[in-house]
Amino acid sequence: MIYAQGYQIPCAPKDVSTASVQTAAEIVDLVDDVIVDSMIHRRGFTIDSPEQMMSHKHNLAVLETAKNHDQIDLYEADPVMAEINFVSMFIHAWALPTYVKLQPQAFAIYKRIVKRFPEIMRNEFTKAKAIKKAFNAYDIFTLEGRTQVVISALSLWPIDERIYLAPISAAYQSV
């Protein structure tokens, strides 16, 4: 949906590892999920489905029962991907109430995630805070603003510097 508006995807020369490209794609998705959910909501569809609410309730329960970061099951063998997933959870919980009107239950869950996350996920929160700052500095609903937020987010993780952003049509032509 957003790529039809000219938004760009991560691309790389063939000798860049698949893992590095996948990491970059996850980081881009972290930003794009907020944009897509906002677009879906503006078109009258619900973004807080029962399945999503169960997932968010689970994430909140994990954060609320943990006494420290070491008690969090990362669910992911790759620590970089685990970190991206947790940062994404925070950004989603922080950003959605900013951009859309949520049902009271979803709003309350997101608010509690945003409050608890920095207490338990300190390392991840440092990156989440930087991305939040980029969201506040740029209009994510414009091509330029979204690109700046994506570039800011990509700079926070170790990915191959040869990865670049290109419109989806150009990306498929270079394959």
Residue 15 to residue 89: CA distance in whole angstroms: 31
* The token pair that represents 101 in the structure block: 């009107």
Among the listed residues 173, 35, 5, the one whose alpha carbon sits nearest the alpha carbon of residue 99:
35
What sign does the dihedral 47-108-125-100 (CA atoms) show?
positive
CB-CB contact of 10 with 32 (8 Å): no
List per-residue pLDDT tens for the chain, 175 residues long.
566 777 888 889 899 998 899 999 999 999 999 999 999 999 988 888 888 889 889 989 989 988 887 777 767 778 889 899 999 999 999 999 999 988 899 999 999 999 999 999 999 999 999 999 999 999 999 999 999 999 999 999 988 889 998 887 655 555 4
As separate numbers, helices (DSSP H) first and strands (DSSP E) second, the chain gives 7, 2
Per DSSP, 5 falls in state G
